[in-house]
Each structure stands twice: as C-alpha cells, then as structure tokens.
Amino acid sequence: MTMTPSKLAMVPFVSVDNMMKLVHSIGLEQFLRDLATEIEADFLRWELFDKTPRVGSHSAVGVIELMPTSDGELYGFKYVNGHPKNMKEGLQTVTAFGLLADVYSGYPVLLSEMTMLTALRTAATSAVATKHLAAKGADTMAMIGNGAQSEFQCLAQKAVNGITNIRLYDIDMAATKKCAANLAGHGLNVTMCTTPEEAIEGAQVITTATADKDMATILTDNMVGAGVHINAIGGDCPGKTELHRDIVSRSTVFVEYPPQTRIEGEIQQMDPDHPVVELWEVMSGKANGRTSAAEITLFDGVGFAIEDFSALRYVHNKIKDTAFYDDLDFVADPDDPRDLFGMLQRAKD
C-alpha cells in the first residue's frame, strides 16, 4: 500500500543547486539588494523578535552553532559551523542549513541550504552597515581576506552602495588572484595588492574577512586613518579577532546584539562595559551613526539570527510558483493525530 503524504507533511526544500538557480533567476546584484532591504526591514522591527546569543559547541578545531529567533509568526533557526582548518583539507570553513516554521502550528514551512545563503546575507549585512555608517560618497573599499566571502562582500557593496573600486589583499596571493578573476566582468575596478598597507591606501571602507581562529592583528593602529569605515566580520567566535585593540578604542563601535558581540566580536578584547551602539537603533533614528568626517566607524559584525531569518523568509517568498525547490515528506502527519503508531503499522501493507 502506497501512502500519500498530506500537504502539511510536505515541506519545501531548497537545495544548493536550486539556491544557485534562484539567485541567477533574480540576478546576483538584485538578490543582494533584496536581501539588504529585507534585513533593514527586520532591523526596523528589532524589538518584536526573540533574541538570544547563538548556542555554540566549541572544540579545539572549530565551533558548531545554532542561531534561533522568532517574530511571533515565524520561527527560524540556522545550523552553522566554523572550522578554519577545513580549508587546508579541501573543505568549506563554513557550512550551514536553516529552517522556518509556522509559530501557530509549529510545523516547518521551509528547509534550505544556507552555506551559499549565509555568504549572501553576510555580504548584504555589511552593505547595510556601510550604507548607514560610511562617509557619503565612498567609492573605494579594501577587501582584506580574499577567501570564500570576499567576492560576495565586494559585489554587495557595489549593488547597495555604489562602491566601484576594490583593493584586494590576502596573505595567500593565490586567493587574491582567484578573487580578482571572479570579479572580472562585474563592473568593478580591481587592484591586487601585496601588503595590507597598500590595500587600504585611498580606501574609505575597509572590510576584513579572515578565517584564522586566533587573536590576530590583521590591521594595526597606525594603518587606520581618520574618517574610514571598517566592517570587521572575521572575528566571529571567542578567541578570534582581527583588529588591534587600539583601533577599537578610537572607533565608534556598532554591533548587532551586544550580548553576543561582547563574547565573539572585536570588543571581546575590551572592558565588559566598552561603549557600543546597536545598529538597529541607528536605522530607526534612536541613535546617531557617523557624526563627523574624521570619525572612525567600526561595524563589529559577528552575524545574528535575525539576518538569517530575513534571508530565509525572502527565499520562502521567492520560491513560490517556481521550480527552485523540492517537496520533502518531512513531517509525520497521520489522519488521526493520536494514532502515530497506527500510521507506522499501515506502512507495512
């Protein structure tokens, strides 16, 4: 006997292949602009969300985390890992998947890959922060760390903020050449640099996205001049930073969710009460962003669950009436909700 699952048992699943097809059907830069819009919209209703620091399981070689949140109507979570040693083994440093569920019934409504989607939403979040914090008219960005995240970061800045000049640096020149080749034909002026000092020359925006799980100093204090905006997105777990603490000391620091960033971000180097401004407050007008041309603004971005929620909701809406998902028989849904055992027994027939 073949049992036909009910509609409620079937959950849309977006595979890696379908995620890539969805991105290309919309257009990469439009997809990034759309994600930025969704993230901004959710930051403007920040107070509606359940918020908690991500739940991490740390080991000597990396971390595995769950990132949950809810706006009262939908619940979302992401499973994500961070294993810097993976690169040397031919594996991704970060992999992820995510789920959306209906709060009213508790039933899942979307299961999706999020390795690709996390790269896209992280880039969109950096672009949103830059939009609200960088000096007006900024057109040049230094991209320090040219790994898996770098091209997304550069294209999001172009799509959202009109950045046209990219200066690349990585300790591995092969990574820089890879990034430059991937960005060819995307309307950017790309310069490959051999030192971080060369990369930041003339840049109004600096983005750091390095992978080492270490208290590293990618930028020293003397490298950062007045008026720049920094997106520090590589320091995303305890014991992992990219900036010298003196840079943090003389910057105005903007964060997503302080209880998480104080554990994972650049500000883990600072006193527990080091002053920070929440990014959602800048967007809503409750706090100032940049207040002078000489100010150094620092977005200490570690990634927060609401950004993943925004991305999952966007994908859930965009796959409707498309072929870019598969239905999974994911939820046991017996005709009589009290008779799960009977459903199992009937499957023998």
Residue 236 known to be catalytic = yes
Strands 140-144 and 63-70: unpaired
Determine the Cα–Cα distance for residues 285 and 97; give it in Å rounded to an integer. Answer: 33
The number of helix segments (H) and strand segments (E) in the chain equals: 11, 17
CA gap 247, 71 in Å, rounded = 35
Question: Which of these is catalytic: 42, 236, 300, 308?
Answer: 236
How many beta carbons lie within 10 A of that of residue 2, not counting itself? 5
d(CA 301, CA 270): 16
Contact in structure between 313 and 99 (CB atoms under 8 Å): no
CB 160 within 8 A of CB 125: no
Residue 89 CB partners (closer than 8 Å, separation 6+) = none
Of 150, 117, 132, nearest in space to 34 by CA: 117
Say if residues 108 and 330 touch (Cβ distance below 8 Å).
Answer: yes
Helix, strand, or coil here: 280?
helix
Query: Which of the residues are catalytic?
Result: 236
